[in-house]
Amino acid sequence: MVSDLLDEPTVRQRALPTTVEQYHALAERGLIPEKVELLEGIIVEKMPKSPLHIFLVLTFFELLQRIIGSSFHVRSEAPIACRLSEPEPDISVVRGRKEDYLLAIPQTAELVVEIAVSSMALDRRKKAIYAGAGVREYWIVLPETRQIEVYTDLVQSDYTRRYIFMDGQTAASEVLPNFRVELKTLFPAFPA
């Protein structure tokens, strides 16, 4: 049962934030559930994945795998260690080989993609977390409206440009020039 205790301002002010180090220590002791992530010092349960969400994550993973060179690798639902957060983006493209992260969690990414089937508000909130971690480009995929929001031009922990690509257009990455997504093919089975 989920409590609305944090909706109470006096309780929220007294809630104890969790550091990334404390989060790891709790995880090592098996004291936190598996399907959570640390966001702005708060342990947050992750949303269940719908078939549409799974389809889109797999689609993006496959598209990126085809164009990524040996200098990068694609990760799915793997953490990025930020200052006060450890989000687990649906897709991230990280510099280096996967073997480079046998003993460490990446602290940034070239590109992060979140699929917002039912998490649009939270994914927009994560924009500040990713910008603060130096993620160069952030995409939010919005299947309900058949759009992709792309945030680029990172300056002092904030994105200065926002593009909205709509059905019929092609979303293109500035960070990974070979990465392009035709929206009409991205949502083929999803009703307009």
User: Which residue reads 């947050």 in tokens?
Assistant: 44
Residue 1 has what pLDDT?
46
Q: What is the pLDDT of residues 40-90, one digit of tens each?
A: 888 888 888 999 999 999 999 999 999 998 899 999 999 999 988 999 999
- Amino acid making up residue 72: F
- The confidence score (pLDDT) of residue 192 equals 55
Q: Which domains does the chain have, with CATH numbers?
A: 49-186 (3.90.1570.10)
Residue 2 confidence (pLDDT): 53
pLDDT at 15: 73
Which amino acid is located at 145 in the chain? Answer: T
Alpha-carbon distance of 86 to 30, in angstroms, equals 17
The overall pTM is greater than 0.85:
yes
3-class DSSP assignment, residue 80: coil
Residues of the chain with pLDDT under 50: 1
Q: Are 126 and 134 in contact (CB under 8 A)?
A: no
